[in-house]
Amino acid sequence: MAEAPQGVWIKDPMAILADNADAGLVVRDGRIVELVPAGKAPETPIASIFDASRHVVIPGLVNTHHHMFQTLTRAHPEAINKSLWPWIKALYPIWAKGMSPEAFRLASQLAMTELMMSGCTCASDHQYLFTAGLEGAMDIQAEEATRLGLRMTLTRGALDLMAGDGEQAVAPRSVIQRTDTILADCERILARYHDTSDGAMLQVALAPNALFDVSFELLTETARLSQQWNCGLHTHLVETAAEAAFVRAEHGCDAVDFLEKCGWLNERVWLAHAVHFDASEIARLGQHGVGICHCPTSNMVLASGTCPTHDLEAAGCKVGLGVDGSASNDNSNLMESLRHALMLGRLTYGAEAITHKDVLRWGTQGSAQCLGRHDIGTIAPGKQADLAMFTLDELRFSGASDPLAALVLCGAHRADRVMIKGRWTVEDGFPVGIDIEQLRHAHGAAAKSFLESM
Ligand code: ZN
């Protein structure tokens, strides 16, 4: 990636999601050091100027939920047009036969590149597939994120139960790991990659898959490790009404009470989906500052329901966004998820209740807070220089009056420029140092050979 010169003035943006920065901002040593009000020049010494007059500048987007390996099984004929349980039952036998480390690397590289091209500067991937040969999956993702210059929360997923019976028994044996094996790998990657310092490029979170396929021991032990290492905790929760009913039947309490029993009701936790909570659960989640990852595209594709974003945020929850895995989206475009969050939210709460500023906040600051980060997510002095910059040159934007609203309402989907820690990682719409045609070809070939090896 290209090294940005020190003291660069990103000058006179067409619009910017920050107060008192109409004349832009100054980046130095990977941080935002100054906002420049209208009609002013920077006080900081400047080495160079980037003319941003064609650009709408927002904080880099932050993705809080994905399953990157699923990019190899997009739009699979056996899984399309189904709700969650038939969908996952169709896909698990395919995923369970295992993929090579090379295929997993390409899947991760493709998803990270796609995310970055959509304006994402920090991503979490809920990686729970550890079939034979993929024991080093987290190391592969750390390498690929580092190579791309993408900030990442390595999110160590896990299943240690075959999971109940009947409706809930979905995961084949080859994706189940022993509890002690999982916990040992959690500690290994925490020691190797978890950086709690300001501006960290890699952090670690622990992520048992879902309440129906992990043990009580795994939940309580990951909670203990989270406290010990000051790292995030993540899981899928109440994506479907059936899952909420399962928790009540299995544990005799609601999902939030069960989280509390496991040591999971605190501000280090963020939950994917959170569709089927009742009012009492929402209030308790809010009281404890739990984070919520809303995955609007996936919720619509699988018709799982609608996350009560507005109520959760009003109760005190942090609300962020995620693209979710690429077999239920089926892409990794985070700007598109902002647009979907706006539309889906309006169906629930009305046209006045959810604005473009709400979804921009969820996709940046809210997501950053879910990941426990206070050094990214806003454009302000002292924050990391993570920026997404869009031009409004396509036909779809022509005639738009409010540039920030246009990003969401007209459907921005590809950033022209992305900066992470002060470095350009996307220039003129293309990722720096990545041949996307070659990547697409290699990934497509890997997907084909993975599916043909069934
Ligand atoms: Zn998921």
C-alpha 325 to ligand 1 mean position (Å) = 6
Q: Report the alpha-carbon distance of residue 276 to residue 266 in Å, rounded.
A: 19
C-alpha 401 to ligand 1 mean position (Å) = 36
Q: Both 91 and 222 in a single domain?
A: yes
C-alpha 386 to ligand 1 mean position (Å) = 25
**Is 110 inside a domain boundary?**
yes
**Is 454 inside a domain boundary?**
no
Terminal C-alpha separation, the chain: 38
Tokens for 447? 């997907």
Question: Confidence class of residue 166 from pLDDT cuts 50, 70 and 90?
Answer: very low
155 pLDDT more than 50: yes
162 pLDDT more than 80: no
C-alpha 35 to ligand 1 mean position (Å) = 37
Average pLDDT (386-402) is: 98
Q: What is the pLDDT of residues 63-102, one digit of tens each?
A: 999 999 999 999 999 999 999 999 999 999 999 988 999 9
414-452 in b/e form (b: 16+ CB < 10 A) is: bbbbbbbbbbbbbeeeebbebeeeebeebbeebbeebee
- Domain range enclosing 199: 62-370
**Is 321 inside a domain boundary?**
yes
42 pLDDT more than 50: yes
Average pLDDT (311-335) is: 96
C-alpha 274 to ligand 1 mean position (Å) = 11
What CATH number is attached to the domain comprising 416?
2.30.40.10
**Is 278 inside a domain boundary?**
yes
Q: Report the alpha-carbon distance of residue 358 to residue 366 in Å, rounded.
A: 10
**How much helix, strand and coil, in percent to the nearest 5, is found in the chain?**
40, 20, 40
Q: Report the alpha-carbon distance of residue 358 to residue 83 in Å, rounded.
A: 28
Q: Both 183 and 231 in a single domain?
A: yes
Strand partners, 321: 294
397 pLDDT more than 70: yes
Domain count of the fold of the chain: 2
C-alpha 322 to ligand 1 mean position (Å) = 9
**Is 436 inside a domain boundary?**
no
C-alpha 2 to ligand 1 mean position (Å) = 33
**Is 448 inside a domain boundary?**
no
Q: Both 14 and 28 in a single domain?
A: yes
pLDDT at 169: 54
Q: Both 55 and 86 in a single domain?
A: no
Q: Both 298 and 402 in a single domain?
A: no
Asked whether the beta carbons of 237 and 272 are under 8 A apart, the reply is: yes
Q: What are phi and psi of 438, to 5 degrees?
A: -70, -40
C-alpha 147 to ligand 1 mean position (Å) = 25
C-alpha 129 to ligand 1 mean position (Å) = 12
pLDDT at 4: 53
Of 346, 370, 394, at which residue does a domain stop?
Answer: 370
C-alpha 84 to ligand 1 mean position (Å) = 10
Q: Report the alpha-carbon distance of residue 454 to residue 449 in Å, rounded.
A: 9
165 pLDDT more than 80: no
C-alpha 66 to ligand 1 mean position (Å) = 6
Q: What is the pLDDT of residues 413-446, one digit of tens each?
A: 999 999 999 999 999 999 999 999 999 999 999 9
CB atoms within 10 A of CB 6: 17
Rounded percentage of the chain residues whose pLDDT exceeds 70? 97
Q: Both 338 and 405 in a single domain?
A: no
**Is 423 inside a domain boundary?**
yes
Q: Both 342 and 405 in a single domain?
A: no
Q: Both 69 and 52 in a single domain?
A: no
**Is 442 inside a domain boundary?**
no
pLDDT at 330: 95
Beta strands 55-59; 61-63: pairing state: unpaired
Q: Both 365 and 224 in a single domain?
A: yes
C-alpha 139 to ligand 1 mean position (Å) = 20
Cis peptide bond prior to 257, omega within 30° of 0: no
Q: What is the mean pLDDT of the chain?
A: 95
Strand partners, 235: 271
Q: What is the pLDDT of residues 290-300, one digit of tens each?
A: 999 999 999 99
Q: Both 354 and 208 in a single domain?
A: yes
What CATH number is attached to the domain comprising 138?
3.20.20.140
Q: Both 50 and 87 in a single domain?
A: no
Q: Both 125 and 28 in a single domain?
A: no
**What is the pTM (predicted TM-score) of this model?**
0.97
